Structure 1
Amino acid sequence: MSEIAKESTEEKSLNFIEQIIEEDIRTGKHEGRVLTRFPPEPNGYLHIGHAKSICLNFGVAQKYGGGTNLRFDDTNPVTEDTEYVESIKNDVQWLGFQWVNEFYASDYFDNLYAFAIDLIKKGLAYVDESTSEQIASLKGTPTEPGTNSPYRDRSVEENLDLFERMKNGEFPEGSRTLRAKIDMAAPNMIMRDPIIYRIKFAHHHRTGDKWCIYPMYDFAHGQSDSIEQITHSICTLEFIPHRDLYDWCIDKLEIFPSKQYEFARLNLTYTVMSKRKLLQLVNEGHVTGWDDPRMPTISGLRRRGYTPESIREFCDRIGIARRDNLIDVSLLEFCVREHLNKIAQRRMVVLDPLKVVITNFPEDTVELCLSENNPEDPNGGMREVPFSREVYIEREDFMENPPKKFFRLAVGQMVRLKSAYIIRCDEAIKDEAGNIIELRCSYLENSKSGNDTSGINVKGTLHWVSVSEALPIEIRQYDRLFKVEDLASAEGDFKDHINPNSLEVITGYAEPSLKEATVDTKIQFVRKGYFCLDTDATPDKLIFNRTVGLKDTWGKVAGK
């Protein structure tokens, strides 16, 4: 992690997408205009990999004075839902971006149907009655050419009639497809007469029951880009083989020449990025939902307390590459830790309480101590924290037989209670089983923080909470959802590698100011980590999620 922290903050050189755009601007291509698009399929929630694409598409457009369209690829009505549409829009805006136009592939269904008719009239598309199994068997192999469909040479008139009847719902689902007539011996197997339309009797969330034929994504993609006059259509590497069909359709239809460019998708350690697998986790109850704080979804990261600034910084640091690689999730955690350190409000919370009785402090007295809200922020201000005769400290902050250089509490040893007094431990009280259940201490009256005249210096400072004023809270301590670093290379089902200790729920005791926290408040529990109020919280039951620890403890555990 130290190497991450040392990474240079100097301005990075242009990535290859920016180099392409600058060359296009220099040569006057598209009159120097830059228009990108972000085309999510509304069949799930966006994840951190989509965040990289969002930052790239919206970021380069902003950098060069252009814009970005948000276009939902709703060509498969079976898997789509308006819930996903709204979540996607919320995620994009939460990350700090705004689209120029909001479009849907379904906006262009009439156009796409007309494009298909045009291809048929040019003798470049035909209706095929082969089953999916027959089509697959005739496609050949990467080293052997395919075989022409027996329906490939139908006349233009017959194809037009059959395609019209497909649209009118005269044929059963799966009984007919429209295929582009390209080359069954093409080295790129995607170009071996790909299917561009199929029959689906499914209600569409926007067009209702108007259509029973729907375009394939590969057919809708390039033409939708062209209709919107997208100048730079940026995709991930798995779309490289699809680029030939993208270009072929635009060329044969003689429409605006949008151009596709590919970059490496984000692969993150200890994480799955497949929406299909994420859906499995949700449907099978391994997580509580798409926004479970252990999920890599943007909504999950947001609920866990990540900030849009930290995610944008992460995407900027990993850069844009042409080759796939595996990024250490510790970098993402580093980015949020760095940002939260600057903005988080400091609050004292005890997670594993040990009672301390300050025997020489007056009973039934509550004294207010001033404590800074954020030492990193000169304008962060101060807050009042109640102090009384009985306080909780962390159990780990006391040792009966401490080693050398243990600067916390032990019998006969002194520490400072943060923002309050210096105390000395006089006695440890045990139960019948020999467990320490209480400490008896005394305080130095003239040692209060900000007005200390005791002349005594102590090396240890502990956080604490007044017992009488303590606010019980539920704390959900999240860890990584998977135990394996590279799930793509792991043997067996990916769910076999779920971390059984990814969630620990405990009760903590907080200073009363936490009553004022909202879901947008970023908080550092002093000496413990960064936390945020969960969306499940109520005024009567405060629930806090751990965003990230103060240090990368996982790396130490995994190393052992």
Structure 2
Amino acid sequence: MEITNDHFLYDLIAKELEANPFGRPMCTRFPPEPNGYLHIGSAYAIHTNYMLAHKYGGAFHLRFDDTNPLKEDIEYVNAIIEDLKWLGYDPGECIFYGSDYSETNYNAAIKLIERGKAYVCYLSPEQMTSYRGTLTEPGTNSPYRDRSVEENLELFGKMKNGDFPTASKVLRAKIDMSSPNMNMRDPVLYRIIHAEHYRTGSDWCIYPMYDFAHPIQDAIEGITYSLCSIEFKDHRPLYEWVLRELELEEPPRQREFGRLNLTGVVTSKRFLRELVAGGYVDGWDDPRLPTIRGLRRRGFTPESIRSFIADIGGIRTQATVDIAMLEHSLRQDLKAKTASVMAVLRPLKVVITNYPDDTVELLPIENNSENEALGKREVPFSKTIYIERDDYMEQPPGDFHRLAPGKEVRLKGAYFIRCEEAVKDPDTGEITELRCTYDPLTKSGSGFTGRKVKGTIHWVSAAHAVRADVFLYEPLLLHQDVPSDEDGDWSGSINPDSLVVVYDCLLEAFAGTLKPEQKVQFFRHGYFCADSKLSTDEKLVFNRIVLLKDSWRKRTT
């Protein structure tokens, strides 16, 4: 992958490295919690860590922050590993688990207790919040803050041995209850959770908090830079306090970058979970979601996602980027490497009255006009075909260059046809069939230089068409705001037209050979992907990935 320099972290870290603060190679990490699926914001964080490591010839680690057995599952672990590899950020053998460091974390906590820097606290969560103070008022010391080292060691040992119920006691750091940084007001380091862990089983019933375990794990793995999103900036003093109090040499350094949001979607794991649990979407892989699973199922390519992230460059704070920029990167990636096929989404029958009844021609049509290397395919042509219903108008305006009474158009890769008659349903007046004639001298590639027509339309042979359902997607949200209520009611925020299903579309026979996740361009309709979840042997399903043209709007960063 190409490494760009358009990132403020590259400049910042380059200056720090001039002082040679580390006697070890560059090493970064991505530390997801295995309690959900990765999304486009995760991809930005992964890219930032991965590319920085490789810029300086270092290593990139994937480390699961699996220290909360109530929410974690091996399903998410496997999905995250698969998604990283699909994106192109393969950690290789450098896959680690925070739960494997349980003994080291515990011993680190013992060391803090022995140094008088941690104590066991009996305050309830509600009491702890009350004692914590506010942004303008200092907190109050816990009545258990001045226990002796011996008493704290004994109580912490009992916590580890399972002598106390869940959430009844915690281990807290002894720092400063009057600190202007709320994260430094004696934060919780360990809590009691009696639950089966997906990896360690029932070996432990106390689990470290992220802010405590994370710097220790970084140090164990030789991480040089812990690159975090901007919301962790206020946590950096605690990260540095833990490393300093444990007297670790050449401690890793935490540096922050901005958080990526996209217009029309949500990237908060909590909100994504509400959408899935509430049945507003078809699971974590719904093509309307910005999860890597959803983007992949819809038809996005890893190359387009990486290109999009690289084009954004460094984000210093929180930023919302127009999703049109991601769609532009996708078009740039797809336009030269996908075949263009004919698909009629709303069919109108056309009978070519002067074409031989039993004749089928195989017409050569290029697969991609921008890439000759993709070659050509043979498309069957016969007496009865289907065209798009909106490619015919009885009383067209002057700028309508498709089919109309007495008018001619070219069929893509085939012949000129002229509309001679429109057959209507006697009860509804709806047009059910067009009867046309063709000019055999106008066959594509024949060198015909006679009259010209302004319009070219696509078509499929009725006898050879493949049936498919087509899913047309628009932004999931009506606006960027998210529900403010507690129950996660998204009904007023969902775009009712975010998914429109067009049933029984007719595609040329070539489409029937496509494999799940294979991408194609449907003439005039956009880029589409064979759905990997809903397609069956009886019926194909295609997702519209993106329209053919940019609906570009200026991004906000």
For Structure 1 versus Structure 2, the TM-score category normalised by the shorter chain is over 0.9
1:550 to 537, 548, 551: 548
Name the counterpart of 1:95. 87
Name the counterpart of 1:3. none
117-126 or 251-260: which moved more? Answer: 251-260
1:339 to 326, 333, 350: 333
**Residue type matched to 1:333 in 2?**
E
| Shift of residue 487, structure 1, vs aligned partner | 4.1
The secondary structure found in structure 2 opposite 1:22 is helix
The secondary structure found in structure 1 opposite 2:22 is helix
Structure 2 residue ranges without an equivalent (≥5):
none
Contact 1:270 1:487 (C-alpha < 8 Å) held by counterparts: no
Name the counterpart of 1:501. 497
**Residue type matched to 1:460 in 2?**
G
The secondary structure found in structure 2 opposite 1:420 is coil
Name the counterpart of 2:106. 113
2:477 to 472, 479, 482: 482
Aligned ranges 1:414-425 → 2 under 5 Å? 414-425=408-419
TM (norm. structure 2) is: 0.95
2:443 is the alignment partner of 1:448: yes
Name the counterpart of 1:150. 143
TM (norm. structure 1) is: 0.94
2:235 is the alignment partner of 1:242: yes
2:313 to 308, 312, 319: 319
1:473 to 468, 473, 487: 468
2:128 to 112, 124, 135: 135
Name the counterpart of 1:524. 521
| Shift of residue 24, structure 1, vs aligned partner | 3.5
Contact 1:314 1:331 (C-alpha < 8 Å) held by counterparts: yes
2:31 to 17, 28, 39: 39
Name the counterpart of 2:279. 285
Q: Distance in 2 between matches of 1:97 and 1:365?
A: 53
Contact 1:219 1:249 (C-alpha < 8 Å) held by counterparts: yes
| Shift of residue 20, structure 1, vs aligned partner | 2.4
**Residue type matched to 1:263 in 2?**
F
Q: Distance in 1 between matches of 2:461 and 2:552?
A: 31
Name the counterpart of 2:432. 437
Going from structure 1 to structure 2, the CA distance change for 1:172 and 1:490 (only over 3 Å counts) comes to closer
| Shift of residue 494, structure 1, vs aligned partner | 4.4
Name the counterpart of 1:537. 535
Contact 1:444 1:454 (C-alpha < 8 Å) held by counterparts: no
Q: Distance in 2 between matches of 1:150 and 1:490?
A: 36
301-310 or 17-26: which moved more? Answer: 17-26
2:205 is the alignment partner of 1:212: yes
Structure 1 residue ranges without an equivalent (≥5):
1-9, 556-560
Name the counterpart of 1:409. 403
Aligned ranges 1:262-273 → 2 under 5 Å? 262-273=256-267
Q: Distance in 2 between matches of 1:254 and 1:14?
A: 35
**Residue type matched to 2:496 in 1?**
P
Name the counterpart of 2:44. 52
Q: Distance in 2 between matches of 1:553 and 1:393?
A: 26
Going from structure 1 to structure 2, the CA distance change for 1:471 and 1:554 (only over 3 Å counts) comes to farther
Question: Cα RMSD over matched residues?
Answer: 1.9
Name the counterpart of 2:193. 200
The secondary structure found in structure 1 opposite 2:318 is coil
Aligned ranges 1:304-315 → 2 under 5 Å? 304-315=298-309
187-196 or 22-31: which moved more? Answer: 22-31
Deviations 1:466-487 (A, max 9, x none): 0111111111112211111454
| Shift of residue 547, structure 1, vs aligned partner | 0.7
The secondary structure found in structure 2 opposite 1:224 is helix
446-455 or 290-299: which moved more? Answer: 446-455
Name the counterpart of 1:77. 69
430-439 or 165-174: which moved more? Answer: 430-439
Q: Distance in 2 between matches of 1:490 and 1:467?
A: 52
Deviations 1:222-251 (A, max 9, x none): 111111111111101110111010000000
Name the counterpart of 1:510. 507
Name the counterpart of 1:299. 293
The secondary structure found in structure 1 opposite 2:237 is helix
Q: Distance in 2 between matches of 1:280 and 1:351?
A: 33
**Residue type matched to 1:63 in 2?**
K
Q: Distance in 2 between matches of 1:490 and 1:420?
A: 58
| Shift of residue 286, structure 1, vs aligned partner | 1.0
Name the counterpart of 1:183. 176
| Shift of residue 29, structure 1, vs aligned partner | 2.7
Contact 1:414 1:422 (C-alpha < 8 Å) held by counterparts: yes
| Shift of residue 63, structure 1, vs aligned partner | 2.1
